[in-house]
Amino acid sequence: MRVVIKLGGYLFPSGLNIDRIQGVSTVLKSLRKRGHRLMVVTGGGINSRMYIDASRKLGSDESYCDDIGIRFTRINALLLIAALGDDAYPEVPENMKELRSFLQTGKIVVMGGLQPGQSTNAVAAIASEATGSEILINATDVDGVYNSDPKLNKDAKKLDAISVNELLELVVKQGSSAGGYKLLDPAAVKTIGRSKISTVILNATDPENIRRAVEGKKVGTRVTF
Protein backbone atom coordinates (compact mmCIF):
# COMPACT_ATOMS: atom_id res chain seq x y z
CA MET A 1 0.00 0.00 0.00
CA ARG A 2 1.19 3.53 -0.80
CA VAL A 3 0.97 5.61 2.36
CA VAL A 4 1.63 9.29 3.04
CA ILE A 5 2.11 10.26 6.68
CA LYS A 6 2.16 13.88 7.80
CA LEU A 7 4.00 14.11 11.12
CA GLY A 8 2.92 17.26 12.92
CA GLY A 9 4.99 19.56 15.08
CA TYR A 10 4.15 17.45 18.16
CA LEU A 11 7.06 15.22 17.14
CA PHE A 12 9.53 18.12 17.27
CA PRO A 13 8.94 20.05 20.51
CA SER A 14 11.40 22.52 21.97
CA GLY A 15 14.28 20.46 23.34
CA LEU A 16 13.14 17.50 21.22
CA ASN A 17 12.02 14.08 22.43
CA ILE A 18 14.36 11.41 21.10
CA ASP A 19 12.28 8.54 22.47
CA ARG A 20 9.21 9.81 20.62
CA ILE A 21 11.10 10.10 17.34
CA GLN A 22 12.52 6.61 17.79
CA GLY A 23 9.05 5.26 18.56
CA VAL A 24 7.66 6.63 15.30
CA SER A 25 10.67 5.42 13.31
CA THR A 26 10.21 1.90 14.72
CA VAL A 27 6.62 1.80 13.45
CA LEU A 28 7.64 3.19 10.04
CA LYS A 29 10.38 0.58 9.67
CA SER A 30 7.91 -2.17 10.55
CA LEU A 31 5.41 -0.93 7.96
CA ARG A 32 8.10 -0.85 5.29
CA LYS A 33 9.13 -4.39 6.21
CA ARG A 34 5.53 -5.45 5.57
CA GLY A 35 5.77 -4.12 2.04
CA HIS A 36 4.16 -0.70 2.36
CA ARG A 37 5.64 2.21 0.38
CA LEU A 38 5.95 5.17 2.72
CA MET A 39 6.24 8.89 2.15
CA VAL A 40 6.56 11.09 5.23
CA VAL A 41 6.12 14.86 5.48
CA THR A 42 7.48 16.57 8.60
CA GLY A 43 6.14 19.76 10.13
CA GLY A 44 8.22 22.55 11.61
CA GLY A 45 7.37 22.24 15.28
CA ILE A 46 7.57 24.82 18.04
CA ASN A 47 11.10 25.93 17.19
CA SER A 48 9.96 26.86 13.71
CA ARG A 49 7.10 28.92 15.12
CA MET A 50 9.45 30.70 17.52
CA TYR A 51 11.76 31.75 14.70
CA ILE A 52 8.87 32.72 12.45
CA ASP A 53 7.38 34.87 15.19
CA ALA A 54 10.72 36.54 15.85
CA SER A 55 11.26 37.19 12.15
CA ARG A 56 7.76 38.65 11.81
CA LYS A 57 8.42 41.01 14.74
CA LEU A 58 11.65 42.07 13.05
CA GLY A 59 9.65 43.16 10.02
CA SER A 60 9.71 40.16 7.70
CA ASP A 61 6.84 39.57 5.29
CA GLU A 62 4.89 36.31 5.34
CA SER A 63 6.77 34.86 2.36
CA TYR A 64 10.07 35.30 4.18
CA CYS A 65 8.57 33.76 7.32
CA ASP A 66 7.35 30.82 5.24
CA ASP A 67 10.88 30.29 3.94
CA ILE A 68 12.19 30.07 7.49
CA GLY A 69 9.50 27.51 8.28
CA ILE A 70 10.37 25.42 5.23
CA ARG A 71 14.01 25.24 6.31
CA PHE A 72 12.97 23.97 9.74
CA THR A 73 10.73 21.29 8.24
CA ARG A 74 13.64 20.00 6.17
CA ILE A 75 15.91 19.91 9.21
CA ASN A 76 13.24 17.84 10.98
CA ALA A 77 13.09 15.58 7.93
CA LEU A 78 16.83 15.00 8.19
CA LEU A 79 16.43 14.18 11.88
CA LEU A 80 13.83 11.51 11.10
CA ILE A 81 16.01 10.15 8.29
CA ALA A 82 18.80 9.74 10.87
CA ALA A 83 16.43 7.72 13.06
CA LEU A 84 15.30 5.54 10.14
CA GLY A 85 18.84 4.75 9.04
CA ASP A 86 19.10 2.45 6.01
CA ASP A 87 15.31 2.25 5.72
CA ALA A 88 15.17 5.87 4.55
CA TYR A 89 16.36 7.57 1.38
CA PRO A 90 19.27 9.77 2.58
CA GLU A 91 18.15 13.00 0.91
CA VAL A 92 15.14 15.28 1.38
CA PRO A 93 13.21 15.87 -1.87
CA GLU A 94 12.51 19.50 -2.65
CA ASN A 95 9.92 18.95 -5.40
CA MET A 96 7.52 16.32 -6.69
CA LYS A 97 9.92 15.14 -9.40
CA GLU A 98 12.52 14.28 -6.79
CA LEU A 99 9.87 12.61 -4.62
CA ARG A 100 8.84 10.27 -7.44
CA SER A 101 12.46 9.52 -8.25
CA PHE A 102 13.44 8.75 -4.65
CA LEU A 103 10.40 6.49 -4.21
CA GLN A 104 11.72 4.22 -6.96
CA THR A 105 14.42 3.04 -4.55
CA GLY A 106 11.83 1.43 -2.27
CA LYS A 107 13.15 3.40 0.67
CA ILE A 108 11.04 5.54 3.01
CA VAL A 109 11.11 9.08 1.60
CA VAL A 110 10.99 11.93 4.11
CA MET A 111 10.34 15.49 3.03
CA GLY A 112 9.45 18.87 4.52
CA GLY A 113 7.92 21.97 2.98
CA LEU A 114 8.15 22.94 -0.67
CA GLN A 115 7.28 26.58 -1.25
CA PRO A 116 6.06 29.74 0.53
CA GLY A 117 2.32 29.97 1.08
CA GLN A 118 1.93 26.20 1.27
CA SER A 119 1.66 24.30 4.54
CA THR A 120 3.21 20.88 5.06
CA ASN A 121 -0.37 19.58 5.34
CA ALA A 122 -0.92 20.77 1.78
CA VAL A 123 2.38 19.18 0.75
CA ALA A 124 1.23 15.85 2.20
CA ALA A 125 -2.09 16.07 0.33
CA ILE A 126 -0.37 16.95 -2.95
CA ALA A 127 2.16 14.14 -2.45
CA SER A 128 -0.74 11.74 -1.90
CA GLU A 129 -2.42 12.94 -5.08
CA ALA A 130 0.77 12.90 -7.18
CA THR A 131 1.80 9.39 -6.16
CA GLY A 132 -1.62 7.72 -6.07
CA SER A 133 -1.43 7.15 -2.34
CA GLU A 134 -4.11 4.87 -0.92
CA ILE A 135 -4.19 6.59 2.46
CA LEU A 136 -3.10 9.90 3.96
CA ILE A 137 -2.48 9.90 7.69
CA ASN A 138 -2.34 13.24 9.50
CA ALA A 139 -0.49 12.38 12.72
CA THR A 140 -1.08 14.94 15.47
CA ASP A 141 -1.20 15.13 19.27
CA VAL A 142 -5.03 15.06 19.45
CA ASP A 143 -7.36 12.08 18.99
CA GLY A 144 -8.91 13.41 15.79
CA VAL A 145 -11.25 16.19 14.70
CA TYR A 146 -13.43 17.77 17.39
CA ASN A 147 -16.46 20.02 17.09
CA SER A 148 -14.37 22.68 18.87
CA ASP A 149 -10.77 23.01 20.08
CA PRO A 150 -10.31 20.31 22.78
CA LYS A 151 -7.36 22.24 24.24
CA LEU A 152 -9.66 25.19 24.93
CA ASN A 153 -13.02 23.51 25.47
CA LYS A 154 -13.21 20.56 27.87
CA ASP A 155 -16.67 19.70 26.50
CA ALA A 156 -15.47 19.38 22.91
CA LYS A 157 -16.61 16.13 21.27
CA LYS A 158 -14.49 13.98 19.00
CA LEU A 159 -15.95 13.08 15.62
CA ASP A 160 -15.42 9.56 14.28
CA ALA A 161 -16.01 10.89 10.76
CA ILE A 162 -16.38 14.27 9.10
CA SER A 163 -17.34 15.18 5.55
CA VAL A 164 -14.74 16.99 3.48
CA ASN A 165 -17.11 19.98 3.16
CA GLU A 166 -17.60 20.20 6.93
CA LEU A 167 -13.85 19.91 7.43
CA LEU A 168 -13.25 22.75 5.00
CA GLU A 169 -15.68 25.00 6.89
CA LEU A 170 -13.85 24.15 10.12
CA VAL A 171 -10.33 24.91 8.91
CA VAL A 172 -11.27 28.13 7.10
CA LYS A 173 -11.83 29.65 10.55
CA GLN A 174 -8.23 28.92 11.59
CA GLY A 175 -6.44 31.46 9.38
CA SER A 176 -3.32 30.87 7.32
CA SER A 177 -0.40 32.98 8.52
CA ALA A 178 3.05 31.41 8.36
CA GLY A 179 3.49 28.77 11.06
CA GLY A 180 -0.15 29.09 12.10
CA TYR A 181 -1.70 25.93 10.64
CA LYS A 182 -3.32 23.93 13.44
CA LEU A 183 -5.13 20.93 11.98
CA LEU A 184 -5.29 21.18 8.22
CA ASP A 185 -5.62 24.18 5.93
CA PRO A 186 -8.03 24.94 3.07
CA ALA A 187 -5.53 24.03 0.35
CA ALA A 188 -4.93 20.61 1.91
CA VAL A 189 -8.64 19.91 2.36
CA LYS A 190 -9.47 20.98 -1.19
CA THR A 191 -6.79 18.63 -2.56
CA ILE A 192 -8.13 15.79 -0.41
CA GLY A 193 -11.63 16.52 -1.67
CA ARG A 194 -10.92 16.80 -5.38
CA SER A 195 -9.05 13.49 -5.48
CA LYS A 196 -11.11 11.79 -2.74
CA ILE A 197 -7.96 10.83 -0.85
CA SER A 198 -8.69 8.42 1.98
CA THR A 199 -7.62 10.45 5.01
CA VAL A 200 -7.34 9.76 8.73
CA ILE A 201 -6.52 12.36 11.38
CA LEU A 202 -5.22 10.74 14.55
CA ASN A 203 -3.16 11.00 17.72
CA ALA A 204 0.31 9.63 17.10
CA THR A 205 1.76 10.25 20.54
CA ASP A 206 1.00 6.53 20.55
CA PRO A 207 2.79 5.70 17.27
CA GLU A 208 0.97 2.37 17.06
CA ASN A 209 -2.07 4.38 15.94
CA ILE A 210 -0.28 4.92 12.63
CA ARG A 211 -0.04 1.17 12.14
CA ARG A 212 -3.68 0.73 13.14
CA ALA A 213 -4.81 3.27 10.54
CA VAL A 214 -2.79 1.56 7.80
CA GLU A 215 -4.37 -1.74 8.79
CA GLY A 216 -7.84 -0.21 8.45
CA LYS A 217 -8.69 -0.30 12.14
CA LYS A 218 -10.96 2.31 13.73
CA VAL A 219 -8.80 5.14 15.01
CA GLY A 220 -8.95 8.93 14.91
CA THR A 221 -11.31 10.72 12.53
CA ARG A 222 -11.91 9.65 8.94
CA VAL A 223 -12.75 12.13 6.21
CA THR A 224 -15.79 11.16 4.15
CA PHE A 225 -16.90 12.27 0.68
Strand partners, 54: none
- pLDDT tens digit at each of 225 positions of the chain: 999 999 998 899 988 899 999 999 999 999 999 999 999 999 998 889 999 999 999 999 999 999 999 999 999 999 999 999 999 999 999 999 999 999 999 999 999 999 998 999 999 999 999 999 999 999 999 899 988 777 788 888 999 999 999 999 888 876 554 544 467 889 999 999 999 999 999 999 999 999 999 999 999 999 999
- Selection from 35, 51, 5 nearest residue 197 by Cα: 5
Question: What's the pTM value of the predicted model, to 2 decimals?
Answer: 0.93
Number of separate domains in the chain: 1
- Selection from 140, 146, 13, 160 nearest residue 76 by Cα: 13
Q: What is the DSSP string of 46-60?
A: HHHHHHHHHHHHTT-
- Selection from 171, 220, 218 nearest residue 193 by Cα: 171
The CATH number of whichever domain residue 213 belongs to comes to 3.40.1160.10
Distances (CA, A) of 121 to 18, 90, 188: 23, 22, 6
Compute the residue count for the chain: 225
In terms of residue numbers, what domain contains 174?
2-224
- Selection from 212, 143, 221, 204 nearest residue 11 by Cα: 204
